[in-house]
Structure 1
């Protein structure tokens, strides 16, 4: 069974900690702006020490990052946790997390934060939310796709949340941009696409994250997908949501083969891939070639260019939740049910 955290309510406290990367001093204003937006909406914000520092690809030592995260996961007066953003080497703190002492609460984020989300759901059966980062919530208005995160975090067990693909996405990043009215400059038409088909529908339990980081959990105590399905999902099939942050087309292909050959896709209903700023062609080999070969290997339906990951905006996917996803004519819709 999946355990869903209690619904987040106004007046409650959200903890901000940096289990991966912290925020350089020249960008500290982004944290203050986001804090103000949550306070304006009626939430209390507690910011940990790790948020304000960055050294050697991480906010601080693995011991300090783990201690601060453990404290927030165990505090009953903190009702949700949202890291400022992702990073690079969160994996090294996973053995230091006190998994059995966690007080269930929503943890939200993406990029390297998905390393934590993925491991937490697999190890404990507690649902986690793959979605926006704290620094991207600094505007007076949140775009319709991004803003769904709050509906998700405010939902009770058994709730149904409907989400639709965005109308437009942001082609390039700029933290210097003034919100107008959103943080993201949604300037390019969104089009969800399907490998070898014109329409598709898939149903199953959601699981996924940033491929660059979570594939390194294969073969570790934090990546036992089959055991998770057996213990917490009654062997229900998975709908994988994945994104490529920095891998070339061939590295992307190798990573997919590693996931497939390790058995991660054995009991799956389909795969959903986000838009990517990466995927550089290598010798004429493209990411679409990789997806077509994966479709041949697995005989699974595959959707790509979806609202997931580093090319915003992104929908909110709950690890462990049941979802029905439909795509037709370049548009996608997802009905997500928080059922045990």
Structure 2
């Protein structure tokens, strides 16, 4: 059975950097995010790791893991909210104290999604794939991103519905700060391989495919044991997003996941909008999706609100979801059962 944390009002948020920290010249956005959360009634506890960045890491893997473990044991903290992702979170996995992990939310995406998926697979505790801490520093937050708080405040046994965004951000404009953080200018349109309405149900699992593929075949990526121990015969819906992979590398990664049994009893796959998906010799990402849909005989939805092209929904690893698409729009109902 999946275990669901619960975010109370005026909760304390622990900000730690299990992957990349924040370099000196960007400390301002971290402080801004902290002040914004305090103005919304939260207490914020910054760890030491968030203030340092040496090449691609906040600090050593052991120190990163120790700070994370300490925050997980701290009874005051109800939500762990990394500033952002990075590159080498995988280094900390062997130092995480999975046996003593408390039931509290962890929220983020990108490299953080590896930590999220691993914790859910190994412990059955739900984790939250959604915005990073620095994403919520704006004067206001768009409707899609803002749902993170409502989702994390849903009680066990209850459900919550999210709606696809109206618009998304085509490109980052760091030299043109927005009071919303994101510049939402392009019309959102969720697509399906069949070009028809799609309805799928199942337990959500997912993350950044660039990262999570690296735990296949390790003790941290045992999807089959997770199924047996926590969800039995229930189907899985995978939500995946591609940060940097070409179409052929994406195809290889999906095949590897299939060969490892990750797509057994899968009712559908959802792919986020991507800044990557570069065609190789004319081989497009739409062709990757179409081939995979035909091979697995399952529906595939793509260009969803997930990943490095914001905004994004908050998807809960382990939650039971009912997803419907129609005319480019979608609803995601998550049940905490």
Scaled by the length of structure 2, the TM-score of the pair is: 0.98
Distance 1:12 1:249 in 2: 42
Distance in 1, matches of 2:331 and 2:102, equals 32
- Could you say what the CA RMSD is over the residues aligned between the two structures, in angstroms? 0.9
Does residue 19 of structure 2 align to residue 20 of structure 1? yes
Aligned to 1:84: 83
Q: Distance in 1 between matches of 2:331 and 2:196?
A: 15
Deviations 1:164-221 (A, max 9, x none): 10010000013343233x1110000000000123111000000000000001110000
Query: Do the aligned partners of 1:120 and 1:128 also contact (CA within 8 Å) in 2?
Result: yes
- State whether residues 112 and 210 of structure 1, in contact with CA within 8 Å, keep that contact through their aligned partners in structure 2: yes
State the 1:55 CA deviation. 1.1
Of residues 201, 207, 210 in structure 1, which corresponds to 2:208?
210
**Which residue number in structure 2 is paired with residue 51 of structure 1?**
50
Aligned to 1:258: 256
State the shift of 1:224 in Å.
0.6
Shift of 1:39: 0.4
Q: TM-score, normalised by structure 1?
A: 0.98
Distance 1:103 1:231 in 2: 19
* Ranges of 4+ aligned residues in structure 1 off by more than 3 Å: none
Kindly indicate whether the alpha-carbon contact (under 8 Å) linking 1:10 and 1:41 is maintained by their aligned counterparts in 2.
no
Aligned with 2:143: secondary structure? coil
Corresponding residue of 2:114: 115
Question: Which position in structure 1 is the counterpart of 2:71?
Answer: 72
Aligned residue in 1 for 2:222: 224
Q: 1:158 Cα shift?
A: 1.4
Deviation digits for residues 92-147 of structure 1 (CA, Å, limit 9, x no counterpart) = 11010011111110000000000000000000000000000000100121100000
Cα pair 1:177 1:183 within 8 Å, conserved: no
Measure how far apart 1:287 and its partner are: 0.9
* 3-state SS, counterpart of residue 8 of structure 1: coil
- Structure 2: unaligned runs, 5 residues or longer: none
1:319 aligns to what? 317
What's the secondary structure of 1:147's corresponding residue?
Answer: helix
Counterpart for residue 96 of structure 1 = 95
How far 1:235 moved relative to its partner?
2.2
CA contact 1:204–1:237 (8 Å) conserved in 2: yes
Correspondence 1:102-181 to 2 at 5 A: 102-180=101-179
**Which residues of structure 1 form unaligned runs of 5+?**
none
- Aligned residue for 2:191? 193
Does structure 1 residue 36 correspond to structure 2 residue 35?
Answer: yes
Deviation at 1:296, TM superposition (A): 1.4
